[in-house]
Chains A and B, each alone.
Chain A
Amino acid sequence: MSSYFRLDPAESIDPLSNFEPADYDSELERALAEDPVAEIDAKPYLQISPYATVQEAVEMLHDSGAASLLVIDSDRLVGIFTERDVLEKVVERYPRICSRPVEEFMTTDPTIVYQSDPSASAAAAIAVAGHRHVPVLDMDERVQGIISPRRMFAFMEKHFS
């Protein structure tokens, strides 16, 4: 015998009756809070193997004009190699280390956002954590792109009103 007490729908109270939708001052405020990161243009992006050499990475940055490379191994993000890594870790000893693998000089554990996060989380990674390149992952932890301040601001512009 069932021990559940079944409410008569006619007598029950709508569980959402006291729900008050968030009140936003502007469309941009709503977009930051509610639109997902997936709405921000996160492509194109460049990737490199962690076993590629530093020289290959530097040449890829040069040839593409990009400021960062996502370091991906077996479909998993393992790090990011940026112009800042070149400045901080590479440039002053480049002739000695140019044939060593990127994984020794990349930034590991970069701050990431998920496609389903609110777009404000990408802004937080840029403004609060201070990262210029924020990798975007899907729920299977696969890389879907990268967000830069320029892409974030372009997203915000779409919601100027």
Chain B
Amino acid sequence: MTFEEQLSSEQIRTLPLRDAIAIDEHTVARAAIALMRTHHLGCAVIVDQNCRPTGVFTEQSIIRLLVAGASLDTTPISSYAEPDFSVVRASDPIMTAWKAVVDSGRRFMCVTDDEGYLIGLTGQRGLADYVCDCYAKQITVQRLGSAPWMLQREGA
């Protein structure tokens, strides 16, 4: 089976999903940012009373908030939520998430069950981990670092 066929046949639930930060639309920006920092996540998902995603507050929202000079203590996150966001179902093929990243430039996608309830997050990171699992022999053997390669060679 080719990688492309694999993307089309395997479901998003097989990706390493991350726990989502689910918050109410009235949450003030400072509280949302504190949660994002604590969980090292660049995205908080705004959910309704039934835990269905209605928007996302991301690092890009924070940039817009800063440039607008809005107060972190009084501004609700709904004022700077991203107008476009992606929701995928856990039962969708991984190709759906792949296309959302490559064609639409999405970083995050809210993952829901078949009833539309939020169950996690995936996106560029989840897909990168998936690619690494599929091509571990090529990827995990590579040099990693910030120093010039000649300084990393044995005996250099």
Chain A residues in contact with chain B, CB under 8 A? 26, 28-29, 32-33, 58-59, 61-62, 65, 67, 83-84, 86-88, 90-92, 94, 109-112, 114, 117-118, 120-121, 123-130, 132, 141, 148-150, 152-154, 156-157, 160-161
Contact = CB atoms under 8 A, between A and B. Distances in A.
Interface residues of B, number: 40
Given A62-B64, A120-B141, 17 more contacts: A32-B139, A58-B63, A58-B66, A83-B60, A87-B36, A111-B145, A118-B142, A121-B144, A124-B139, A126-B124, A127-B128, A128-B132, A128-B140, A132-B124, A150-B105, A152-B131, A153-B102
B30 interface: yes
B135 A86 contact: no
Nearest to B4: A160
By secondary structure, the A interface counts as: helix
Contacts of B4: 160-161
Interface of B: 2-4, 30, 33, 36-37, 42, 59-60, 62-64, 66-67, 72, 98, 101-102, 105, 107, 124-125, 127-129, 131-132, 135, 138-146, 148-149
